Structure 1
Amino acid sequence: MKDTQVNISSEFSIIKKYLSGIGASYLKINGIDLSIGDDCAVLATKSKLLISTDTSVAGVHFLKSMPAESIAYRSVATALSDIAAMGGNPVAFNLSLVMPSFESSWMAGFRKGLQKISREFHFPLIGGDLVKGPLQISVTVLGKPEKNILLRSNANPGDILCLSDPLGSGFIGFKEYKRIGVLNKTTKPYLFPAAQISYGKIISRFASSAIDISDGIIQDLSHLVTRSGVGCNLDLDKVPLVNQKYAKQCLEFGDDYQLLYTVPQKKLSSLQARLNSFNKKCHTIGIMGGKKLVINSKIESIKNWDHFQ
């Protein structure tokens, strides 16, 4: 399509040109009977659905200076991470976009980012909304669970606390992007964070509980501990980091979207063997037990992320 200036009041023209047809080839295989174009999408499903919503606000969840492509991709990926944490398969997503003004080049980049993540995980955009206002994106993702749905509430005393991959890529990427403002190997994990869908499906056969790390390891582990009603002895010094020089920031920053999960001890060796066959790792960093979260670390005063502080 040729880019032409479209008035921001022409909502349906913008949707038709930039937000329609994304992932259309996946509609039938994912059980979508009706997509964009009506008041609602229609899904034909006989199984349970996983549903999660995530909102990204400019200046809070992403930098305004970021390319529109990465803003779009990142907004969907952070929501999709919740499907990964429950061991699910992506089915479709809805997107509501609030933007202050219309720019055809920005919107073309935004569409490119949506297409990129749609192709990567084989799931279509099936609806949403478009309004004028301060830049923010809300994404609702739908998924189907594997045989087992991973909850935050199923950890048991004696379970081993595990982590999918080293933490800190989000912080280091953010720091580097603020410095140089370009996409490279270092900034990519922040600009285009990876939702751990395949990893979540693998561990769903073995893990007792799971959560994704979006707000820092202490904050997210606290959610798992509270929901499960069992304490945890966390050896923070065993948590693998991408850069030891910035250990505190890597642990606090979040935005890594790695999976934090618990595994019964009798299943740990089988899980490790399964992960090894996919060239993936399982980092053991603690054990569940007691009534409180006990942190063993040389690093003092690790903070929690809170949107309202």
Structure 2
Amino acid sequence: MLNIEKLKEILKEEGIESEQITITKNNVLCQAIRIILPEHPSVSPVIYYNSKETLESFLFKIHAVLDLGDPQIDVKKLTDLDYVKSHLTLGIQRKSTNTNLVKKEILNLELYMKITLELKNTDEIGTCKLNCNLQEQLNVSEKELWEAAFANTVSHYSLKNMYQMCGIDDNDDCMMYVVTSSLQNAATALCFPKLFEKFCIEKREAGCYILPSSLEELIVLPASAVERSGMCASSLANMVQSVNAEAVEPEIQLDAVAYYYSTESNDIQIVAEYENGQ
């Protein structure tokens, strides 16, 4: 178990200022350590930990981010517009009360933007959510930033059936498909109806049901398969809730809500609203 006081003592001996903080991440309270950089007061790396974390493993995380002689993160990149636009991607979460975050509502969720920060001498990466203060420093319109984030995100999705996910040859009889992303933000695909339009055209379906198993994966069910099973909105929502309870960490869970993509309207709706509108 991680001893925070011991950790802070070790960091202080190394000349690293830190503080223990609680942060709301996707509307879940998470414990973290904030590293204070006197030379860059507006930028403070935040590193999350959990109850199973060991002192050694967490120190390794901190040292991977911060090296006193050669900082791993070049914070100047956060105010370099060209860098930001080329490293800006989408994130999605439950609706929050953070008024400083640059965000927009989508369905029952909110979309935000994050900047990927490459760490020197390592394969690890860090991210920084785009807030209003940073946008002001960049002196750029919100519209231009959203366009860059959408463009940088869309090419990273993959939609495969469960057989393919398990390394088995494709099988056209499979009734369950999964959307993933190399950016680990597959739930942002809810912003891209064209992904599901292509799927429905290929499968000759009038629509498909979309279940957010986490921020990182979406389960897709052809409409014909759901109709044959007799499932309704509450049944689909219960499936999401069951997956969340059994296998998904709270900070990457989404609400127990299912969605429907319709080829007729070419949009995505909450299933309960779609069924009520029919």
TM-score by length of 2: 0.31
Larger Rg: 2
Of structures 1 and 2, the one scoring higher in RCO (CA 8 A, sep 6+) is 1
Higher-strand-fraction structure: 2
TM-score by length of 1: 0.29
